[in-house]
C-alpha cells in the first residue's frame, strides 16, 4: 500500500513539473519596462533614462515652498538602476509646483547652457528628447536642474 501511494505521489509531482515547464516555455515575455512616466510622486520632478518616460528613473525632490535658485546636480543623482543621471536624461515629468530650468552645467559654472524649461504650477509638464523629438539635440546633455518654488 505504501509503495502504491509513493508511486502516485511521484506521478503527481511529475505531472505538476511537466505542466510548469510547459507554462514556462509557452508564456509570453514579461513586460520589460513600466508604463511611460510611471511612478513619479505628485511632489517631485522625475527624470528618465530613455525617451517617452521609459527606462530607469530618478526622483528629484525640489526645495520647499519659497526655495529659489536651488540646483540639483545630476553628477550626484543616480537612476534607480544605479547609473549616474548626469548626461543620461532623455525625458522628464514635473509633478511639483516648482519652475525648473534644465542645464548642461555639471559644475555650476557662471555660463551654463540652458536646454529646456518648465514653468511653475504646470503639473504634469513633460520633456522628451528621444528619437523623433523636436528637441533631440538635448538628449543625454542635462547635467543640472535649477528650481524656483513659490
Q: Note the pLDDT tens digit of each residue in 24-57.
A: 333 334 344 578 999 999 999 999 999 999 999 9
Q: Return the HEC string of 70-119.
A: EEEEHHHCECCCCCECCCCCCEEEECCCCEEEEEECCCCCCCCEEEEEEC
Residue 36: DSSP 8-state: T
Query: How much is the pLDDT for 82?
Result: 97
Instruction: Return the H-helix or E-strand segment holding 9.
Output: helix 2-26
Tell me if residue 4 falls in helix, strand or coil.
helix
Query: How much is the pLDDT for 144?
Result: 93
Whole-structure pTM value: 0.75
State the distance between the two ends of the chain, measured CA to CA, in whole angstroms: 80
Residues with Cβ < 8 Å from 97, sequence gap 6 or more?
Answer: 65, 120, 121, 123, 149, 150
Question: What does the pLDDT look like over 66-100, one tens digit per residue?
Answer: 778 899 999 999 999 999 999 999 999 999 999 99
Q: Which three cell numbers stand for residue 46?
A: 522625475
pLDDT, averaged across the chain: 81
Amino acid at each position: 500500500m505504501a509503495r502504491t501511494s509513493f508511486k502516485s505521489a511521484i506521478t503527481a509531482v511529475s505531472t505538476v513539473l511537466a505542466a510548469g515547464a510547459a507554462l514556462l516555455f509557452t508564456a509570453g515575455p514579461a513586460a520589460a519596462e513600466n508604463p511611460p512616466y510611471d511612478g513619479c510622486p505628485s511632489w517631485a520632478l522625475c527624470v528618465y533614462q530613455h525617451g517617452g518616460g521609459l527606462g530607469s528613473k530618478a526622483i528629484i525632490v525640489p526645495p520647499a515652498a519659497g526655495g529659489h535658485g536651488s540646483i540639483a546636480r545630476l553628477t550626484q543623482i543616480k537612476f534607480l538602476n544605479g547609473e549616474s543621471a548626469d548626461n543620461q536624461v532623455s525625458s522628464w515629468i514635473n509633478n511639483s509646483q516648482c519652475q525648473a530650468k534644465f542645464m548642461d552645467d555639471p559644475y555650476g559654472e557662471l555660463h551654463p547652457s540652458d536646454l529646456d524649461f518648465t514653468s511653475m504650477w504646470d503639473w504634469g509638464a513633460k520633456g522628451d528628447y528621444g528619437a523623433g523629438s523636436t528637441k533631440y539635440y538635448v538628449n543625454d546633455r542635462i547635467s543640472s536642474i535649477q528650481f524656483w518654488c513659490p
